[in-house]
Structure 1
Amino acid sequence: MTMTFRDVSPEDAALQPIITGLFGEYEARYGDFFSRSAEEELTEWYLPPHGLFIVLEQAGELVAMGAYKPLDADTAELKRIWTRRDLRRQGLAFKVVAELERRALLAGYRKTYLTTGFRQPEAVRLYLSQGYEPQFDLSRDPEEYSQPPHDGRLRFTKVLGESIAPSQAAHAGEAG
């Protein structure tokens, strides 16, 4: 079945079910560890020319999403990367991240930055498979990053335009 990307406004009513799913998952994994104030972040930061919000559609249904916003003049911060639960482990999140990177590069960004939570090992695997450099110690128990002085976020960076190793790409379908 054909899948297509579509640019959307972060305030598009059609996004509400998938946004609700995203924040419901955060709540199930973390309780109130992370503030729901992140929902309020869906603003003009995600609108062109500096930002972008995309959905991946299949048969008219939203199956995955992602966004970026400016972190600084050279860096796009990837956000809201999510795949519908019943469609995971098919490489959809990999496709979303790759499209966000492609579009960020076209928009003039040279680097990307993103964070994921300490209880999302599948996201860590996804970002590592796409050539992201962890800004934390992979050998530590991720739960340690939920304790001060840490804030629970696992940070990654990537220089755009660098290709990933074939061994990394081969494992990309394992997450997302």
Structure 2
Amino acid sequence: MSTPSAIDFRAQGPRLYHVRPDHPLAAAVTVELAIEYSTRYGGTAGAIHQQMRARPAADFTPPAGGLVVLVEHGEPLAGGGFRRADRTTAELKRVWTAREQRRRGLASRVLAELETMMIRLGYRRAFATTGDRQPEAGSLYRASGYIEVGGAERGGGRYRFEKLLGSAELGGACFPGTADPARGFARRDVYLA
């Protein structure tokens, strides 16, 4: 597997990259996500960012987890990750789309790639937790086959979504060396250094 040191700026349309938590693209997504959370829930973006950075990098690297970023013209458009909850269950984290890029199906593409990665790592179930001030996240998970379990935690306004993963889930995924012409996405099955 090759390891490019730079983003392919010549690429047509958004390209999906697997990244390590310390890669600048992952850092950019984390910063933007912290700003988004502070805007929706209060608190400072700096404190939220520091809290996210406190997570061990190993949580988001194989074989426990993974991170992806969708990039166009060198700019991150969307991203997300997952980490191990238990031996067969992964937890989705940090799913984000740039405000000006929403309604293009980018989060769905990121989620599909994360699910493909989870299956390859042996996970059979995924879950996500989101807050009541992120209705777009709930809509994304429902549209992607996740089932809302329980209800909002008392007073917390948090919702949990779960999905069983399996080989049938791979049907819409792109694999190395292929593209999804219907969506205009190219996939890079590599880690950026």
Q: Does 1:86 align with 2:91?
A: no
Residues matched between the structures, number: 154
Larger fraction in helix: 1
2:41 corresponds, among 30, 38, 41, to: 30
2:120 corresponds, among 106, 109, 112, to: 106
CA change 1:118–1:100 in 2 (3 A) is same
Q: Is the Cα–Cα contact under 8 Å of residues 11 and 42 in structure 1 kept in the other structure?
A: no
Q: Distance in 2 between matches of 1:110 and 1:159?
A: 6
Q: Distance in 1 between matches of 2:97 and 2:154?
A: 24
Q: Deviations 1:42-61 (Å, cap 9, x if unpaired)?
A: 52111111211111112332
Shift of 1:146: 6.3
Q: Is the Cα–Cα contact under 8 Å of residues 58 and 64 in structure 2 kept in the other structure?
A: no
Q: Distance in 2 between matches of 1:47 and 1:22?
A: 19
1:136 corresponds, among 150, 157, 164, to: 150
Q: Distance in 2 between matches of 1:109 and 1:134?
A: 19
Aligned letter for 1:4?
R
2:89 corresponds, among 55, 70, 75, to: 75
Q: Is the Cα–Cα contact under 8 Å of residues 66 and 82 in structure 2 kept in the other structure?
A: yes
Structure 1: stretches of 5+ with no match in the other structure: 164-176
Q: Distance in 2 between matches of 1:62 and 1:111?
A: 28
Q: Distance in 2 between matches of 1:52 and 1:15?
A: 11
Q: Distance in 1 between matches of 2:82 and 2:162?
A: 13
TM-score, scaled to structure 1: 0.79
Which residue of 2 is the match for residue 63 of structure 1?
77
TM-score, scaled to structure 2: 0.73
Structure 2: stretches of 5+ with no match in the other structure: 1-11, 170-193
Shift of 1:88: 0.5
Aligned letter for 1:160?
L
Q: Distance in 2 between matches of 1:12 and 1:67?
A: 13
Which residue of 2 is the match for residue 173 of structure 1?
none
State, as a whole percentage, how many aligned pairs show the same letter: 39
Aligned letter for 1:32?
G
Which residue of 2 is the match for residue 169 of structure 1?
none
Q: Which structure has the higher relative contact order (CA within 8 Å, separation 6+)?
A: 2
Which residue of 1 is the match for residue 160 of structure 2?
155
Q: C-alpha root-mean-square deviation of aligned residues, in Å? A: 2.2
Shift of 1:77: 0.7
2:134 corresponds, among 100, 116, 120, to: 120
Q: Does 1:16 align with 2:18?
A: no
